[in-house]
Amino acid sequence: MSDKKTLTVNGKTVEFDNERNLLEVIRKAGINLPTFCYHSELSIYGACRLCLVQVTSGDRPPVVMAACSTAPAPGMVIQTETKEIRNMRKIAVELLLANHTIDCPTCARSNSCSLQKIAEQLGVTKVRFSKRTEIDPIDTSSPSLDRDPNKCILCGDCVRVCKELQGIGAIDFAYRGSKAKVVPAFGGDLGKVECVNCGQCAAVCPTGAIVPKQDGNKVLDALYDKSKTVVVQVAPAVRVALGEYFGAKPGENVAGKLVAALKLMGFKHVYDTTFTADMTIFEEATELIERISKGGTMPMFTSCCPGWIKYVETYYPEFLPNVSSCRSPQAMFGSVAAETLPQQLGVDYKDMFVVSIMPCTAKKFEAQLPKFRRDGRPEVDVVVTTSEIAQMIDSYGIDFNNLEPMAFDMPLGLSTGGGVIFGASGGVMEAALRYAVEKLTGETLTSVDFKEVRGMAPRKEAALNVADTELRVAVVHGLANAKALIEDLKAGRAKYDFIEVMACPGGCISGGGQPHGATNKLRVIRQQGLYAADKANQLQKSQENYMVDLCYKEHIGGGPGSHKAHEILHTAYQDRSQVADAKLFLHKGDAAAKFPVTVTVCTKDAEAPAALLGMLAEHIKGRDYAGRCDLAAAYTAADQAAGTVCVTVGDSFLGRTNFSGAGDAAGFKTITDAIDQWFAQN
């Protein structure tokens, strides 16, 4: 007698075992039911009602049920298609279309919109319901993402991915019934809340309600400007995903064709970000070795991912000393390009225009940070995502599939396999280990593979014996996993020396700017594409990149960790634990140019900050800068000890101060002295 559990789908017997619901069993049977709100990695929501099926169980009459929220049971008879079910699905889609802004030709998701695809699938040719008349403003406040609430279908995918996979909750449902919306906290702008710009909300949004900010026209304007020398860098993960837009197999390395396409578009020089990924390893591994040998702050975290950097700045600023001071490869490229290319190319720096092609929406945020500016302009002028460059290539009419591959330009085009695997979770760690183990042991590695840190496990750990010392490393991807690891560190449940964090599931290969609809299966294939490119490269260790060595000798001097290297290849971080999405204003300035003086309300003790606010209001009113500033209280995302307050003026963080209450004259004077000094200097 067989122990296998079976049910019937459209007359076909299907075995099932660990499937969570009928939807997964039906897909196993080869039938892809339409759905908006279902993702295998997220909690079951059951909002869209498109996956309706007819279920007959035992002697009970057939019942129409949502497949995603119904557990499979032996003997069930499932019918996925009846006239009644099709009509119900069509009505559901028509209702969504009636409440949806229909501007498909100009929508960034026009060719990958699930609503558009399912409407076509079901044969919806007209909408029989009244159109929505109220139009909400489009939120363009974020440097990375645009949010159009008029295209939202309330599937909740963005809410759940932000809360469950990333552990943030920057957006959520508000209001009820017909007034229900998905919005940032207090109905504010996405650019003013604790969003880390990872773009995973855009990656799962089935419509154009949240999309990567579209910056392609800025690049086109530069290409059309004959006074500009337009150079471009291409991130590792782009090469194994871009081809999907043009019908290539996932994971296929199309770097050569992309170079050829970019040349046809008018880019003067096409470089590889893996060059500065290798340079990052020179710096980061050197920093790790120095921390280990000199007793520096441990564990050390990687710094390549700007989504992770903003997360730790916002939620765990006390760990900022643990984060490597190395710039990301993109930011490092911007600095190296500014330092070397004007002389090499014979152009003025002001006439050079640097473009990045990235899998990541957070890179757009990173590029516009004031700390990455030179001579008053960004070192990376524009960041476009994989999806944006695909659209641009298509707009030029380029037959991508039939292009003859071309090589990256030298010298910033030479790379090693160690730089290429940066795009996969564990890749930065493995590249760093290939460097650090050789340096610590003084011996050449015979095998460069550190497979313990590869794959899609939420947390990967390894303990390596290096030069008679145990080196404990960990790799996490997805910020909820990063949070769990940090909490384990704080509680003493875990101990590591070196930790890699990537904000996106699987690493950059499924960044917010990659082709839409990534699954774990697809992520594994893209990762395999990067490891295949690593193996195909004659150079697999970053320290074998002789062009990086030459760059140090000719332009940086002193090698990794030198004074000049720290000046142009490293950075500092900002405590962002004060989030201004819930400001309560106590004083309003009357001048045109105002600076907000913000006191963070402590989550553990609201009385001391409340007393401080009243005292500061009186202090500000008695100063000549009263008209130049606002005074407000704000919420903090970080945990703080009771009696601790934070104060900022404008974008300047004046620090944390112990303030026990209205009678604490010394604590109050510390704060007012810092504020008075700031206004005296500004």
Residue positions counted in the chain: 682
Give the tens place of pLDDT for each residue, 360-382.
999 999 999 999 999 889 999 99
AA letter at 159: V
Burial degree of 612 (CB within 10 A; 0-12, 13-18, 19+) = buried
3-state secondary structure of 124: coil
For residue 663, what is the DSSP state? T
3-state secondary structure 51-88: CEEEEECCCCCCEEEEHHHCCCCCCCEEECCCHHHHHH
In this prediction, residue 641 carries a pLDDT of: 52
Residue 53, strand partner residues: 65
Q: How far apart are CA 272 and CA 256, in angstroms?
A: 11
% of the chain exceeding 70 in pLDDT: 93
- Residue 420: CB atoms within 10 Å: 32
Cα distance between residue 209 and residue 204, in whole Å: 10
pTM of the predicted protein model = 0.86
Helices (H), 346-395: 362-367, 386-395
Please tell me the predicted confidence (pLDDT) of residue 670: 81
Give the pLDDT confidence of 517-548 residue by residue, as tens digits.
888 999 999 999 999 999 999 999 999 999 99
pLDDT reported for residue 575: 83
- The 3-state DSSP class for residue 230 equals strand
Residue ranges of domains in the chain, CATH in brackets: 5-81 (3.10.20.740), 92-212 (3.30.70.20), 217-569 (3.40.950.10), 578-681 (3.40.30)
Model confidence pLDDT, tens digit, residues 240-297: 999 999 999 999 999 999 999 999 999 999 999 999 999 999 999 999 999 999 999 9
If you average pLDDT over every residue of the chain, what do you get? 90
Q: Which residues pair with 652 in a beta bridge?
A: 649
Question: Which tens digits make up the pLDDT trace of 469-478?
Answer: 899 999 999 9
